[in-house]
Homo-oligomer: A and B are copies of this chain.
Amino acid sequence: MPLLVMKFGGTSVATPDRIRRVAKRVGVEVSKGYDVIVIVSAMAGETNKLVGLVNETSPLFDAREYDAVVSSGENVTAGLMALTLQEMDVPARSWQGWQVPLRTTDIHAAARIVEIPTENITAKFAEGMQVAVIAGFQGIAPDGRITTLGRGGSDTTAVAFAAAFDAERCDIYTDVDGVYTTDPRICEKARKLDKIAFEEMLELASAGAKVLQTRSVELAMRYNVKLRVLSSFDEMDDAAGTLVCGEEEIMELNVVSGVAYSRDEAKMTLISVADRPGIAAAIFGPLSTAGVNVDMIVQNISEEGRTDMTFSCPTDQVKRAEKAISDAKASGAINYHDIVADTGVAKVSVVGIGMRSHAGVAAKMFKVLSDEGINIKVITTSEIKISVLIDRKYMELAVQALHDAFELEKAG
């Protein structure tokens, strides 16, 4: 029997009525002849409530107890979804993570999936069950304690099940109707994409687009799981949403598929660093140890043995970065005249697999920004992405201008 994985996020299962509504979608796929594995999140607001209780109880919590508490929201939804399907005469039952068992590492609150045995659930399908409902976001560590996969982990659960059961497709139902060329809230010409390649999706996610958890896309790419993002609030339609898939399934690759942005960036500059071989390691080693997520890095041309080193990191890590750097100076590992943090910046990126074979995308991007009078502070590029750091006040303007210039409102 062909098998589908369908994942429903918190807003899609926020009330018994909404659960009924999405259960009908599951029923339609069952009536088409699919076995279905449904992955559910906690009802909207529940996980935040539980996280709040944990933080109120113990600000520096034991992550093992955190996991035991916050995983309970998904258990509730899984049982209610199974009951709803049974009410529709669809044979269904629920599994909690430890019942599958979905085995993970023991990194609590951020565990990685190790193994999903399929025998147990496959046997139930063989006995006539048509839907297996799985509590998302959770698993079990080698020592038998409950783990969670990090926020958004239910997307990863869904893709992992799709890979383990060789599903025909993994449909991620959410409150947006797909992946857009850019954020419709800041660019009204934004267009929904019918298809996007895994790598583009990854670069968009890392550049600030938050439709899917990055890990779920990585996992889908590794196991070549066809991933569809669609809204549970729209009419059912087989062509709805955006298909995230291997680039070989996309006929004509876009030079640029989307424009992403991130407000949450700070630029830090170490002025007049004493330059020597190994200086980059001496700076970024301590930052990594301190848990600072450094994104972009630029080093000026060295003059007379001194250079300026600039990097970006999330705004809320600036204090931590400053401490790590000044500690490194105090220990004699590095030497610089001053450290300057600029928290008034934003990152804007253009992403597209077609860039690989099309020259001139970067030049065009820089010209568009220049024509708008926007100064570029830092540039980084990957094979399929160009990112720039600019003053935050120009962010919306930059996104709109780039969206126009690359004609993203037109279907590729």
Contact = CB atoms under 8 A, between A and B. Distances in A.
A409 to B, nearest CB: 43
A178 B265 CA distance: 60
Interface string A261-304: 00000000000000000000000000000000000000000000
Contacts of A145: 99
A87 B58 contact: yes
Interface string A1-42: 000000000000000100110000000000000000000000
A58 B83 contact: yes
A42 to B, nearest CB: 10
B94 A68 contact: yes
Interface string A71-94: 111011011101110110000011
B82 A65 contact: yes
A69 interface: yes
Contact of A65 (B58, B68, B71, B79): B79
Contacts of A58: 83-84, 86-87
Instruction: Using C-beta atoms within 8 Å of the partner chain, give the interface range for chain A.
Output: 35 or more
B16 A87 contact: no
9 contacts: A16-B56, A19-B57, A53-B80, A54-B79, A57-B87, A58-B83, A58-B86, A61-B83, A69-B76
Interface in A78-136: 78-80, 82-84, 86-87, 93-94, 96, 98-99
A65 B53 contact: no
Nearest to A68: B79
Contacts of A75: 68-69, 71-72, 75
Given A16-B56, A56-B16, A144-B99, A62 B82 contact: yes
A74 to B, nearest CB: 9
A65 B93 contact: yes
A79 B66 contact: yes
A87 to B, nearest CB: 5
A16 B53 contact: yes
A136 B99 CA distance: 19
A50 interface: yes
A64 interface: yes
A281 B64 CA distance: 56
A57 to B, nearest CB: 5
Candidate in A19, A84, A87 with the most chain B CB atoms within 10 angstroms: A87
Contact of A16 (B57, B64, B66): B57
A86 B62 contact: yes
A94 B66 CA distance: 11
A96 B68 contact: yes
